[in-house]
Amino acid sequence: MKSLAQILQDAREVKGLTLKDAVKHSGVDAGLISKFERGKRMPSAANLMALAEAYELSFAELKKQWLAEKVLDLVRYEVGAAEILTLAESRVEYLAGEKALVMDKIPASVQEKLEEIDQLKEQWQQRRPLGSTQLQKMKEYFNVAYTFESNRIEGNTLTLQETHLVVNEGITIGGKSMREHLEAINHAEAVDYLEELIREKADIYSRSLLELHYLILKGIDRENAGKYRNVPVRISGSEHVPPQPYLVDKMMEDYFVHYQEQKNVLHPVILAAEMHERLVSIHPFVDGNGRTSRLIMNLVLVGNGYTIANLKGDQTSRLAYYKALEAVQVHNDPVPFYHLVGDAVRDSLQQHLEMV
């Protein structure tokens, strides 16, 4: 069996990358990469993820090898190493059983909703593939509606019709600011990019998140587009205080590791809700956190065969959205947010089914 060092070296060579290229693609220091490849040092989880992304390897698979070597390092010179491993194995079996319980901890009301959603999803999948004209028309309709609502949450005053004219017809609306026009165009472009990521079956890494954020703020806030913040922020009207800027990088690394660990464990709708809530709670950007988080939620959903969930921007819906986020952040209760996202997913599937 190949060692982690060998796997990393082979993967770089297979991709035809020099050490310098690998540094450019992964952001990991050349000295470190060289030590990893010679087995002189173990990568951190964040470095491993960056290399997996750069070499297009499965992080989940690479991580297994990485952890196995860590365990080996720990026990190899101990007396009774084999016995220690057997003991550990029996604990692992127990923990694996516990992991399967994660979904069981979700209340029955949410489970029922998930079952209903999955039935609708199946019906939707059976209707596919759709004709290209029909697909194009539906995409246009739902993407504009999504852009309209997501921007409405953020305070954009363009109507649904105006958003359609700006995005699909390139028409400017009298009396509306340049910024509002750009927000509509940018969001629609971000939705196109999201679809591209799904077509490419791209996994969720910081690069795709930062690209999405960049598209949202393109031409509006050049300094902050596609960058994590280095200043403290507050969310107006909320009791939740996002972490200090020096914690953001580390928390975002953990965010992506959490995704990799949970993506095959949690139900996709719950995973999508979690990825959304965690991101807005870290609030890693100066602006555009909500829109980007809603895009990440949809990246998880659509990537798993669901349709775009469109959280509404009218006053009542917006307040319910903020309240549900606050319930997680302040009372550690994710159930209202699971329901809110579940309702949006169900409504979207029903609407899609009605249209075909």
What span, in angstroms and rounded, lies between the C-alpha atoms of 143 and 248? 31
Number of residues that bind ligand ATP (CB under 6 A): 17
Type and span of the H or E element at 159: none
Q: Which of residues 137-176 bind ligand ATP (CB under 6 A)?
A: 153-154
Q: DSSP string covering 91-106, please?
A: HHHHHHHHHHTTGGGS
Please report how close the Cβ of residue 284 comes to ligand ATP at its closest, in angstroms. 10
Nearer CB in complex with ligand ATP: 20/234: 234
Judged by CB under 6 A, the stretch of 64-72, 96-104, 246-254, 284-292 that binds ligand ATP is 284-292
- 62 or 194: CB nearest ligand ATP: 194
Instruction: Say how many C-beta atoms besides its own lie within 10 A of residue 291's C-beta.
Output: 24
Identity of residue 215: L
Answer positive or negative: Cα dihedral of 217, 223, 226, 231: negative
Task: Report which DSSP code applies to 305.
Answer: T
The gap between the terminal CA atoms of the chain, to the nearest Å, is 51
Compute the least distance from the CB of residue 122 to ligand ATP, in Å. 30
Read off the tokens for 54.
């750069």
From 87-95, 168-176, 287-295, 333-341, give the range in contact with ligand ATP by CB under 6 A.
Answer: 287-295
Binding mask 228-247 for ligand ATP (x = CB under 6 A): -------x--x-x-------
Instruction: Give dist(CA 47, CA 145) in Å, integer.
Output: 39
- Which one, 260 or 281, has the nearer CB to ligand ATP? 281
289 neighbors 210 (Cβ within 8 angstroms): no
Tell the smallest beta-carbon distance from residue 64 to ligand ATP (Å): 34
Q: Which residue lies nearest ligand ATP, judged by its C-beta?
A: 290
Nearer to ligand ATP, 260 or 293 (CB): 293
For tokens 């994590």, the residue is 228
Question: Is there binding between residue 9 and ligand ATP (CB under 6 A)?
Answer: no
Phi, psi of 107 (to 5 degrees): -55, 155
303 near ligand ATP (CB under 6 A): no
Rounded Cα gap, residues 356 and 346, in angstroms: 16
The closest of 276, 273, 282, 205 to 243, measured between CA atoms, is 282
Output the smallest distance, CB 95 to ligand ATP, in A: 32
Quote the Cα angle for 154-219-302, to 5°. 55
User: Is 293 an interacting residue with respect to ligand ATP (CB under 6 A)?
Assistant: yes
Binders of ligand ATP among residues 166 to 225 (CB under 6 A) are none
Separation between Cα atoms, residue 119 and residue 25, nearest integer Å: 41
Q: Is 280 in the site for ligand ATP (CB under 6 A)?
A: yes
Which pair of tokens denotes residue 162? 């105006």
* CB-nearer residue toward ligand ATP: 290 or 342: 290
Using CB under 6 A as the binding rule, whether residue 334 contacts ligand ATP is answered as no
Please select the residue that binds ligand ATP; options are 226, 284, 290, 342, rule is CB under 6 A: 290
329 binds ligand ATP (CB under 6 A): yes
Nearer to ligand ATP, 186 or 293 (CB): 293
Amino acid type, 53: E
291 binds ligand ATP (CB under 6 A): yes
Question: Which stretches of the chain bind ligand ATP, using CB under 6 A?
Answer: 153-154, 235, 238, 240, 280-281, 287-291, 293, 322, 325-326, 329
